[in-house]
Amino acid sequence: MSEMEQDEVKLRIMEKALELFLKYGYSKTRMEEIARVLKISRKTLYKHFENKNHLLFEILSAKHKRMSKKMMEISEDESLSVHEKVKAINEFKVSQFPAGANEFILEIRDQAPDHYAYIREVRTESISKSIQALIRQGIEKGEIRSDVNTTIFAALINSAIEMTATPELLLNSPYSMVQLQQEIHHILFYGIMNPVAESVKIAK
């Protein structure tokens, strides 16, 4: 089997494993079941992944890399304003949470805390860098106030993302992750003051 074929098998395993994790839960999905559904031998499965813990880490890492690549593409899209880029990045991140993701994230946090902490740290760092770079672009283009502290704004974005990705919040909230992200994005960029009332105040 060629290296390309090996990579294709590995990708198939990861995609099917994630599908089963989301449907049945990480703890309830056995490696034997993954092999059976894929119609491959256990030997083939363990050739690519030492155990289920290793498989989970590879799935999370691959997903993060794909998301980082896409966010970079959005950041470099000259046809979008900075505001549109930030909005597009937020919407893309939200789209990466399929059905069952809330329960899955909660389970990973409890069942594989090391993986959860690592991915969270890497995600926070990459988002902070991309958001700060975008805000600097906005300042240079005159789209964003020059006195905005990029570090603090990036921290706010990260905190908002972290909050809306909290499984307990989403499971008990009448709002979806998309709705929460959109509202937070709107508040961060436009504030909560009524522009009409503010203009009247200035006129007085």
**Per-residue model confidence (pLDDT) at position 38:** 96
Does residue 144 contact residue 135 with C-beta atoms inside 8 Å?
yes
What confidence tens digit (pLDDT) does each residue in 90-123 have? 778 777 777 677 788 878 888 888 888 887 787 7
**Per-residue model confidence (pLDDT) at position 165:** 65
Which pTM does this prediction carry?
0.75
139 has pLDDT over 60: yes
Q: How confident is the model at residue 181 (pLDDT cuts 50, 70, 90)?
A: confident
Token pair for residue 56?
């989970």
**Per-residue model confidence (pLDDT) at position 42:** 95
Assigned CATH topology for domain 59-190: Tetracycline Repressor; domain 2 (1.10.357)
Neighbours of 52 (CB within 10 A): 19
199 has pLDDT over 70: no
Using CA atoms, how far apart are residues 188 and 190, in angstroms rounded to an integer? Answer: 6
What top-level class would CATH report for the domain 1-49?
mainly alpha
**Sequence ranges of the domains in the chain:** 1-49, 59-190
Q: Which residues contact 16 (CB under 8 A, 6 or more apart)?
A: 34, 37, 38
Query: What's the mean pLDDT in 46-56?
Result: 95
**Burial degree of 157 (CB within 10 A; 0-12, 13-18, 19+):** buried
Alpha-carbon distances, residue 116 vs 92, 94, 96, 165, 203 (angstroms) = 20, 18, 16, 13, 52
Most confident of 18-32, 79-93, 96-110: 18-32
**What does residue 142 show for φ and ψ, rounded to 5 degrees?**
80, 10
Q: Cα Rg for the chain, rounded, in angstroms?
A: 21
